[in-house]
Amino acid sequence: MLITEGSVALVTGGASGIGAAVARRLATAGARVAVVDRDAVAAAAVAAEVEGLAIACDVTSEAAMSAAVAEAETWGGRLDLVHLNAGSVGGQSGITDLDTEAYRRVVGVNVDHVVFGLTAAVPALRRAGGGTIIATASLAGLVPLPGDAIYTLTKHAVVGYVRSAAATLAPEGIRAMALCPGFADTALIAHLRDQFAGFPLLDAGDVADAVERMLADGKAGECWYVQPGRDPGPYAFRGVPGPKTGDEPPQLAWEG
């Protein structure tokens, strides 16, 4: 699916960082973009820049996400692309310490929002005859991030959910994929920036480049890594061995 003139897209976390960069890129390609964010003022600023729609939304609320999708579809007359990009860092190990309130908040933003957004978007994409859902995960959805088990938990959940949902949705012409960037120089790591001195970081434009590539070349269920200095591409998951019976060689339960 290429973004074409008149396509309608919704981007959560669209008021800053990766979301804002993606919103700008989609608008440049001719899409009409609904910018969804909890920060109403910042969302309005990006929406004005891209001549789109600003929607203030608590993405952790099922009702709010459903309302945001409905508003975007009504405004645009259809919905072709949903980028579920809003995210939050863990900020705690989740092993030797656990702030339950903070834990629930991170799970709400990183996991609940993706589930609520996807389930709300599917009927709209069906009405459009198909479309694409991209959920922003992280490299921490593919490999463990030492020191932040909670964040790793949520991003592994996004990867697993998208890969499973993709198999269900693909026959309907709805393509679900996950975006797995490495560390990006955005507000999410602003409080840790000193720790990245000398470490190559992505910028938001690098990730927007990857989204553009995914829209052009990505296949249902793929999880695309994005790393500085490398071309983005789908991560190659190993298949899982199935049960062995008798002298027959083990079969793969599924390729994954």
How far, CA to CA in Å, does 33 sit from each of 66, 134, 168? 17, 15, 26
Residues 6 or more apart in contact with residue 21 via CB below 8 angstroms: 204, 205, 207, 208
- The bridge status of strand 233-234 relative to strand 223-226 is antiparallel
Q: Are the CB atoms for 113 and 162 separated by under 8 Å?
A: no
Q: Are the CB atoms for 250 and 242 separated by under 8 Å?
A: yes
Residues 6 or more apart in contact with residue 201 via CB below 8 angstroms: 182, 183, 184, 185, 228
Residues assigned a catalytic role:
151
